[in-house]
Structure 1
Amino acid sequence: MIDNATNTGLKIEHLIESLLFVAEGPVSLAQIAAALNTSPKQIKRALLDLESLYQDRGLQIQNLRGRVQLTTNPKAASSIEQFLGLESQQRLTSAALETLAIIAYRQPVTRPQIDGIRGVNSDSVIKNLIFKGLIEDVGRSEGPGRPILYGTTSSFLQHFGISSLKELPPINAEDDQLQIDIKSDKNVENSESDPQYVSMKLPENDG
């Protein structure tokens, strides 16, 4: 196998950067490796170098379920929206944030599991999050009725300014209590009736 980086005179990191720039969406390590005639393992190492390079830059490398994408830094969102003449990103309600938190930490997860944690029907909230592109159908559960499994999308990462699910804040190990400060998040809609944070008990993961 001849490494394309050898033929082009460019480092493999620079070639990956070019591929991600022209890609229409997230791509797998295998796809990148095939295009560059190298191994997924080498691509993974090179991506780590790229992620380090993009620290505190206008662009960032997003990694979700083994698929990577080159995106803009969420901190630049307002400037980009103004430049493109777009409306400001629609904010999330506390119910939407609560549901998103459950999906983010427990994915893949079914709607009945989400309802069980929240204590209310989450159908409309889930539909709204799908419409916003923050969650998606990632398969079917093997349980009775084979309910849909939900997971977060690359847009979720972009929305909250993280490049990987590994960057999610840890849950309190002592009581599995997850508290998310919604007033510190500019993407969350607040009102006088909203609590200062979303708090929920996450049951032990059966899987």
Structure 2
Amino acid sequence: MDSEKVAIIESLIFASKGIQKEKILEIAQVSEKDFDDIVKILEQKYNLNNESGIELRNIDGFFKFFTKKKYAIYIEKIIKRRSLNTLTTSQLEIVILLASKKKATKRQIDEIRGKDSTNILKQLLMSGVVKRRKSGRSYIYSLTDTFKEETFIEELLDELGGVHFDTERSQNDIEKDNGKQ
């Protein structure tokens, strides 16, 4: 493999806060096969190397370098980390729901919680925990990237085995709620 291509892709991933494969292919002008081969090289260089403190991850189609979990206690000393303890129980319910489902409408959140979430969602929006985007006649809520990075909420849920909500609604219901079907 051309070491220049490896270095280009490595630098793109390093400089970004998460970059999609398609964007890398476009910028670096490499084929998908070359990209996949380079990712394997980078994973071997970082993920499988005990002498490296960082690893390459693909999260929801975004490639990004992260500190390995075993070094998190050192990183916490220099990086401001938001604590989940600052959230109320109701806020934490919504955060965990969004961390596990990735996105949900207010209606879905209310159905799962069994009560209105308007004021709590406003608080979470104002504090930078949650973001929303308009889709049809409603909003789709998700956690902000900053909050996810500061709390490691997704990694924490993965370590705990994930979360499952008993609901009959599917991901397709988001589109139905917004008139896309």
* Normalised TM-score (structure 2): 0.65
Following the alignment from structure 2 to structure 1, what is the Cα–Cα distance between the partners of residues 55 and 154?
A: 9
Corresponding residue for residue 123 of structure 1: 118
Following the alignment from structure 1 to structure 2, what is the Cα–Cα distance between the partners of residues 169 and 123?
A: 29
Following the alignment from structure 1 to structure 2, what is the Cα–Cα distance between the partners of residues 170 and 67?
A: 20
Following the alignment from structure 2 to structure 1, what is the Cα–Cα distance between the partners of residues 5 and 158?
A: 27
2:23 alignment partner, SS class:
helix
Corresponding residue for residue 96 of structure 1: 91
For structure 2, list consecutive stretches of 5 or more residues without a partner in the other structure: 173-181
Following the alignment from structure 2 to structure 1, what is the Cα–Cα distance between the partners of residues 38 and 160?
A: 23
Write the deviation string for residues 158-192 of structure 1: whole angstroms up to 9, x where unpaired: 333657x9888355xxxxxx3xxxxxxxxxxxxxx
Corresponding residue for residue 20 of structure 2: 28
Corresponding residue for residue 10 of structure 2: 17
1:38 Cα deviation after fit: 0.8
In 1, are the aligned partners of 2:21 and 2:62 still within 8 Å (CA)? yes
For structure 1, list consecutive stretches of 5 or more residues without a partner in the other structure: 172-177, 179-199
In 1, are the aligned partners of 2:132 and 2:140 still within 8 Å (CA)? yes
1:18 alignment partner, SS class:
helix
Write the deviation string for residues 12-70 of structure 1: whole angstroms up to 9, x where unpaired: 2x4322222223x2222122112221134543454355346326753233434422222
What does residue range 175-186 of structure 1 map to in structure 2 within 5 Å?
A: 178=164
Q: Within the alignment, does 1:201 sit opposite 2:166 as a pair?
A: yes
Corresponding residue for residue 177 of structure 2: none
* Change beyond 3 A, Cα 1:117–1:137: same
* Change beyond 3 A, Cα 1:81–1:106: closer
In 1, are the aligned partners of 2:55 and 2:65 still within 8 Å (CA)? yes
What does residue range 128-147 of structure 1 map to in structure 2 within 5 Å?
A: 128-131=123-126, 133-140=128-135, 142=136, 146-147=137-138
**Alignment RMSD:** 3.6
1:136 Cα deviation after fit: 2.5
